[in-house]
Amino acid sequence: MKSHELDYEIFGDDMQIAEVELDPGETVIAEAGAMNYMDAGITFEARMGDGSETNSGLMGKLLQVGKRVLTGESIFMTHFTNGASGKLRVAFAAPYPGKIIPLQLQDVGGTFICQKDSFLLAALGTKVSIHFNKKLGAGFFGGEGFILQELKGDGLALIHAGGTVIRKELRGNTLLVDTGCIVGFTEGIDYDIQRAGNLKSMFFGGEGLFLATLRGTGTVYLQSLPFSRLADRIIASAPASGGSSQGEGSVLGGLGRLIDGD
């Protein structure tokens, strides 16, 4: 199925919004809850899957959308269609601070493999499925990188990443990365897991027990702030269940609580 041809524009810096322009009859598929605003005349509908399963029958559709459950995503995707006679726009935003990365899938070989929560939207005709790593090391110890999403098609896809995004071009060399810092990569990149140094480094180095190894020929996108790392810092700084909290600096924090009457 040939993908719809979409025009887009990205606004903002660290909390970006992507506006997609739809011609009459064009459709964009997106994760549930990603839409910000849209022009009147655009209709939307929650459907099971990405729309590429139209000729696969009921069991085929159930199999395709059921795989999305393994990635932790909803089995439903929202389809936005321009039902008017002129061009209309609909806007989407990522759920946490970072960057939106535009990809023309036909320019990256037709396939892009990304973290399970990186996908934001794509043109109708794009197949969104899961990508299992066949190596046991990556499967058992890959953490966030174990179950990946595979985007396949010839049209536009937008993915999002946390913090600053770095693009690396590999030409047969090897890159060692924290598993959570991988946004995605093109075909031709071999993904595996290796131990992070000796036992002392593994347990006391603060870099996790395992690192991802990326080698081969292709493009890799990395993020500086995985959402899991951001969430861990927020939880660690949250007040304890008893209501006590630690201020930014014990002396000033204590004075502030005294002044407030706490």
96-128 pLDDT tens trace: 889 999 999 999 999 999 987 899 999 999 998
- Residues β-bridged to residue 46: 78
Report pLDDT for 140.
Answer: 47
CA atoms within 13 A on the CB side of 220: 25
126-137 pLDDT tens trace: 998 887 665 544
215-254 pLDDT tens trace: 999 999 999 988 777 777 788 877 765 555 555 444 445 4
58-104 pLDDT tens trace: 555 555 555 555 555 567 889 999 999 999 999 999 888 899 999 99
Section 176-202 average pLDDT: 81
Find the helix or strand (DSSP H, E) in which 236 lies.
Answer: helix 227-237
11-20 pLDDT tens trace: 998 889 999 9
Report pLDDT for 96.
Answer: 85
- Model-level pTM? 0.78
Q: What tokens does 258 get?
A: 């005294």
Section 48-64 average pLDDT: 61
Mention every residue, 6+ apart, whose C-beta is less than 8 A from residue 62: 48
CATH fold, domain 7-235, is: Double-stranded beta-helix (3.60.160)
